[in-house]
Amino acid sequence: MRDIRILTGALLLAGLAADPGWCAAADGRDSLGTEALRHKLEYRSWARVTGPWGAVRLSNPRIRATGLEFLAARPDAPGTDTTFLPNPIPLARVYAVEIQVNSSGKGTIFGGLVGVALGMIMAEAVSQMDFGFGGGHSANGGDLLTGAVLGAVPGVILGALLGAAFRHSEEIYPVDRLPDRRPR
């Protein structure tokens, strides 16, 4: 048993010595933030970037080893000059990166809750009705559960569709909020 532990430890040390690049995310102070930014910008067609030059809208932004590359830049705030904007932009010069996201997740939750409530209200209302064959009683747990499920399904779908129509900006960089590097 001890031989297996020694062999496993030796193989682990040999692997670490051969390729230390797999743990490169732990090397720099901001490398985890860079990886998170790379992941969030992966399929975005544009992003709003703020730096010492002002606010610009970059098309097709991508994180590379040298910084934030882009296809084209246009001013997003008055007084912003994009003629001297480096490509790629070093991340040390970037104050903030914002992307557009939709609210489909919040819409799904809200629509599901409204659908459950309406389904339970409808189940109780239907159970109170007398159709001439012994109705007019209070709904039992099974009726309420059925109404909740039947109301939740269209509520979730409708909430997700409506939430996708509402977009808002979300700041994705810097990941850490301290210190605030924005100009005042």
Q: What is the reported pLDDT for 28?
A: 41
162, burial (CB in 10 Å: exposed 0-12, middle 13-18, buried 19+): middle
The per-residue pLDDT for range 26-45, each reduced to its tens digit, is 334 456 567 777 777 777 78
Per-domain residue ranges for the chain? 30-101+167-184, 104-165
152, burial (CB in 10 Å: exposed 0-12, middle 13-18, buried 19+): buried
The per-residue pLDDT for range 69-126, each reduced to its tens digit, is 888 888 877 777 777 888 888 888 888 888 888 888 888 999 999 999 999 999 888 8
Tokens of 62: 């991508």
pLDDT at 184 over 60: no
Predicted model pTM: 0.53
